[in-house]
Amino acid sequence: MTYQLHDGDDSGVLIGSSTTQKVGFHGATPVVQQAAITSGADTTTEFTASINSIIAVLRAYGFIPNADA
């Protein structure tokens, strides 16, 4: 069975209307909006840190599993 989430018009659907409301996907524990991810100097270390931050956010919301899952 498939369920749809919509409000009947083309204005879109908002999930979590403030940064403090928690959201989770795929059975993950809901979390508040994650911190901004910034890139510092153009170094391998900074890029690696940015990618690791993106992975952590994806895991926090449940979009990808934890490494030990």
C-beta of residue 37 within 8 angstroms of C-beta of residue 1: no
- The mean per-residue pLDDT over the stretch 41-62 comes to 88
Q: How far apart are CA 45 and CA 51, in angstroms?
A: 10
* Predicted local distance difference test score (pLDDT) of residue 13: 83
Instruction: Name the amino acid, one letter, at 56.
Output: A
Higher pLDDT, 66 or 63: 63
Is residue 24 scored above 80 in pLDDT? yes
56: pLDDT confidence band, cut at 50, 70 and 90?
very high
- What are the C-alpha distances in Å from 6 to residues 27, 61, 64, 65, 67? 21, 21, 25, 27, 33
Please check the confidence at residue 69 and state whether its pLDDT lies above 60: no
The maximal CA–CA distance of the chain, rounded, in angstroms, is: 48
* Domain boundaries, given as residue ranges, for the chain: 18-69
Average pLDDT rounded to a whole number, residues 16-24:
92
d(CA 30, CA 27): 9
